[in-house]
């Protein structure tokens, strides 16, 4: 053979190797072109290349099984297809994986802050496409990996959940159709509100709920035995919360797919049949639809109709009794009384929605029961981990939703019930029941007559101390029967004067309404403008809160506390009279797009400083050490000069001597502002108010509410969003855009840092208010904040709005390569 012939043959063989033999890796000098080039994993399990789904003419870069080329598990440019066969996939010298079109314009690329000296793209046997530096095989040191950006398929060793350090949320999203891999309407994600649970979403609405991890599986799976074919793993630590799985036999192929209709399916490859076998389907029956039977309703697919009520509950609507769908759910037969309540054990259930739950891995089941009994808002409890004798604790607050009855085992749930529900004769119409009912009626009648008699005596006695027809007088009055100190001097304004001042409590004079009742604007005959808080008969608060507010605020005088001018207790009316605040509440400004423009940076700083000084007075400088317990934007009023004044002391408590904290069985206040130790354990102290103050600081800076906060890139509440921006050194993004650039970066950073210090999880880590005031008024070095409490409690995010970020390079619009 001549030298020329040999050279020609070698050249031809080299060319064939370059175009037809699958490439093991991709380097800056080696690209994949849309013309047959592919990248194949070392164990020949997966292949990467260009493809068109079904009859579509669009071209995509995807990964599929080598044994089943039509089974695509990941698409790089799912929302940005090519229109022809000119595509080229390459790796740049900086380690960026880029997709080029026929004119060499980048239409998609990976986004990484890391760089590599010797960048290599490699398709692993797991189906994970990675970009790394040379031969480094440590996943934590990968520059980028496709497993961080799943599409419609959940593969073994892939993670479903969130990286708490970087904020990366890994979730599955459906194709739009079988021929369009663009992001569809459905997603499978980990809901981190309360105990983390797997949910199927349609947009921002839960469509189905697979449930939380119980140590063996998710609670939505009937039967509690481990899966013999798959090994599941749930990870929850300070760095991440996620699920992953892998086959027990590594030679087999298994995958989960979310189809375009929002149905989750599990497949395994059958070698003998050379085809995929469908092993399970989620959303295969009506009971798997989220909350199909409503609150406290149970769904049993073996019954017709499938909906029923838990024992001790009745259908909320009579029409539901024969209906197949109980949209209204069930209600308690006997209302809870808090003190004296017990628990009924239910078995064989899918545990309720955990988005409004609290959990702890070290608390025993008995301790769990005690915790729930101490908190009147706790409605149920159960084991966190069912293995062995069971350990860990989950507490539910509020209504119980999405409960399913399983024919095979299921789990145990302890639901709070009124003590009367545990009588053996409950619901029976026998003779003994009638006698008991008659006795109760007679006893109640005697009790009512006695109360009315005592009330009349009390009323007659108190009438002797009220001067009628006067607009405003000071009296020394014995309020012993009302719980007031005997010799306390209180300003008294009679009912007639208040009726005249408010035009008989006309609706046109109504300023608003809170937990206490309506508030009216009035004007006394001397011309003094007042605000009248009138206790409503249906108030969530009551006489005790009224007395409490009078006793406490009568002793307080500070420029940042609202001033009490008088009170009225006459003819079953209970009213508090305050100085009138013309600008109403802080809430009416910071969360209103129009009025918030009136709060520039200096005004916001002044408001935060004023609230801090008011709290400092309550905690350390007043005659009593007072814990407010309900500090929030609506309870901060603004005077004519926009100076803040803390109001509404109905839920406040005073400490004496060296007391630093207290416990309560009755949790009151507003979620979103409550500290973790108070909301869960009923423990309150000055540090509870500090937590509420921290929430207020972040709300004032951002102009956003903590509860109900929504962000297109994640599911965190405002505290979590602020924390994420802090650890990523992007805190300037938190500031309300209305404020603009009228502030200095140092002031913003300092204020946000103070806010984060105040909302730390552990009360002992939070500063006291004297330290807070000093932090706000000086330039001293501040401590580094730790993770905030309740930072994962937030609403769902609409997955359809989670668009890939874009950036510009050389005038070319580039969509990042983070396919989902």
Query: Catalytic positions, please?
Result: 630
If DSSP states are collapsed to H, E and C, what string results for 320-359?
HHHCCCCCCCEEECCCCCCCCCEEEEEEEEECCCCCCEEE
Q: Report residue 15: phi and psi, to 5°.
A: -65, -40
Distance of alpha carbon 629 from alpha carbon 626, whole angstroms? 9
- Going by C-beta distance under 8 Å and a sequence separation of 6 or more, which residues neighbour residue 537? none
- Going by C-beta distance under 8 Å and a sequence separation of 6 or more, which residues neighbour residue 813? 806
Distance of alpha carbon 739 from alpha carbon 597, whole angstroms? 7
For 795-820, give one letter per residue: b (16+ CB within 10 A) or e: bbbbbbebebeeeeeeeeebbbbbbb
Whether 555 and 480 have beta carbons less than 8 Å apart is answered as no
Q: In what order do the strands lie in the sheet with 160-163?
A: 169-170, 160-163, 240-247, 230-236
Q: How far apart are the first and last CA of the chain?
A: 55
If DSSP states are collapsed to H, E and C, what string results for 414-452?
EEEECHHHHCCCCCCCCHHHHHHHHHHHHHHHHHHHHHH
Q: What angle do CA 589, 594, 598 make, to 5 degrees?
A: 60
The DSSP secondary structure of 52-120, one letter per residue, reads: --TT---BEEEEEETTEEEEEEEETTTTS-BSSS--EEEE-TTS-EEEE-TTS-EEEE---S---SSEE
Q: What angle do CA 252, 254, 256 make, to 5 degrees?
A: 175
Distance of alpha carbon 483 from alpha carbon 489, whole angstroms? 14
Q: What are the percentages of helix, strand and coil residues in the chain, rounded to 5? A: 25, 30, 45
Query: How many whole angstroms from its chain centre is CA 305?
Result: 33
Distance of alpha carbon 96 from alpha carbon 257, whole angstroms? 28
Distance of alpha carbon 333 from alpha carbon 345, whole angstroms? 17
For the record, the structure tokens of 283 come out as 């959303």
């Amino acid at each position: 053979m001549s030298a020329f012939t040999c050279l020609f043959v070698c050249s031809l063989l080299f060319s064939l190797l370059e175009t037809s033999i699958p490439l093991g890796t991709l380097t800056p000098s080696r690209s994949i072109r849309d013309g047959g080039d592919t990248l194949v994993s070392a164990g020949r399990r997966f292949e990467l290349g260009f493809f068109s789904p079904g009859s579509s003419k669009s071209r995509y870069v995807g990964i599929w099984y080598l044994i089943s080329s039509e089974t695509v598990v990941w698409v790089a440019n799912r929302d940005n297809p090519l229109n022809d066969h000119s595509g080229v996939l390459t790796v740049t010298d900086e380690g960026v994986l880029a997709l080029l079109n026929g004119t060499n314009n980048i239409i998609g690329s990976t986004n990484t802050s890391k760089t590599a000296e010797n960048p290599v793209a490699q398709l692993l046997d797991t189906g994970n496409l990675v970009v790394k530096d040379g031969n480094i095989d440590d996943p934590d040191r990968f520059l980028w990996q496709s497993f961080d950006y799943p599409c419609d398929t959940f593969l073994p060793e892939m993670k479903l959940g969130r990286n708490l350090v970087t904020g990366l949320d890994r979730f599955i999203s459906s194709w739009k159709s079988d021929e369009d891999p663009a992001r569809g309407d459905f997603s499978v994600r980990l809901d981190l509100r309360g105990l983390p649970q797997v949910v199927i979403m349609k947009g921002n609405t839960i469509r189905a709920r697979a449930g939380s991890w119980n140590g063996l599986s998710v609670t939505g799976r009937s039967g509690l035995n481990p899966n013999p074919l798959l090994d599941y793993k749930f990870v929850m630590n300070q760095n991440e919360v996620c699920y992953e799985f892998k086959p027990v036999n590594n030679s087999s192929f298994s995958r989960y797919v979310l189809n375009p209709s929002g149905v989750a399916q599990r497949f395994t490859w059958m070698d003998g049949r050379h085809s995929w076998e469908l092993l399970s389907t989620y959303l295969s029956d009506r009971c798997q639809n989220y909350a199909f039977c409503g609150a406290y309703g149970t769904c049993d697919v073996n019954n017709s109709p499938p909906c029923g009520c838990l024992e001790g509950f009745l259908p909320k609507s009579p029409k539901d009794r024969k209906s197949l769908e109980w949209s209204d759910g069930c209600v308690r037969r006997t209302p809870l009384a808090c003190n004296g309540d017990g628990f009924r054990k239910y078995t064989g259930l899918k545990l309720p929605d955990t988005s409004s739950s609290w959990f702890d891995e070290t608390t025993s089941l008995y301790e769990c029961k005690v915790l729930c009994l101490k908190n009147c808002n706790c409605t149920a409890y159960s084991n966190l981990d069912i293995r062995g004798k069971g350990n860990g604790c989950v507490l539910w607050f509020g209504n119980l939703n999405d409960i399913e009855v399983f024919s095979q085992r299921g789990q145990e749930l302890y639901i709070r019930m009124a003590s009367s529900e545990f009588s053996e004769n409950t619901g029976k119409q026998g003779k003994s029941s009638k006698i008991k009912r008659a006795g109760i009626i007679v006893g109640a009648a005697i009790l009512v007559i006695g109360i009315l008699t005592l009330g009349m005596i009390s009323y007659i006695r108190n009438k002797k101390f009220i001067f009628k027809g006067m607009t405003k007088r000071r009296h020394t009055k014995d309020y012993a029967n009302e719980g007031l100190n005997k010799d306390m001097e209180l300003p008294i304004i009679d009912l007639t004067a208040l009726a005249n001042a408010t035009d008989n409590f006309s609706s046109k004079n109504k300023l608003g309404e809170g937990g206490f009742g309506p508030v009216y604007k009035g004007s006394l005959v001397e011309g003094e403008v007042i605000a009248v808080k009138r206790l409503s008969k249906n108030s969530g608060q009551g006489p005790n809160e009224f007395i409490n507010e009078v006793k406490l605020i009568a002793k307080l005088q500070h420029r940042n506390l609202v001033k009490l001018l008088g009170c009225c207790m006459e003819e079953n009316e209970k009213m508090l009279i305050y100085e009138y605040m013309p600008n109403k509440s802080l809430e009416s400004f910071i969360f209103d797009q129009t009025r918030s423009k009136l709060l520039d940076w200096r005004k916001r700083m002044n408001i935060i400083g004023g609230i801090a000084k008011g709290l400092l007075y309550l905690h350390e400088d007043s005659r009593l050490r007072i814990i407010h317990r309900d500090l929030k934007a609506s309870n901060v009023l603004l005077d004519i000069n926009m100076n803040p004044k803390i109001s509404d002391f109905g839920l406040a408590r005073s400490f004496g001597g060296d007391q630093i904290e207290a416990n309560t069985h009755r949790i009151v206040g507003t979620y979103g502002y409550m500290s973790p130790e108070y909301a869960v354990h009923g423990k309150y102290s000055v540090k509870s108010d500090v937590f509420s103050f921290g929430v207020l600081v972040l709300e004032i800076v951002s102009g956003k509410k903590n509860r109900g906060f929504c962000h297109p890139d994640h599911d965190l509440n405002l505290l979590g969003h602020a924390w994420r921006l802090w650890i990523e050194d992007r805190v300037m993004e938190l500031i309300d855009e209305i404020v603009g650039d009228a502030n200095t970066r140092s002031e913003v950073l300092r204020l946000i840092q103070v806010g984060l210090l105040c909302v730390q999880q552990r009360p002992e880590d939070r500063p006291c208010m004297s330290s807070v005031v000093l932090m706000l008024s000086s330039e001293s070095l501040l401590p580094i904040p730790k993770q905030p409490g309740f930072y994962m409690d937030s609403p769902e995010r609409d997955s359809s709005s989670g668009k890939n970020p874009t950036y510009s390079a050389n005038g070319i619009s580039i969509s990042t390569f983070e396919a989902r």
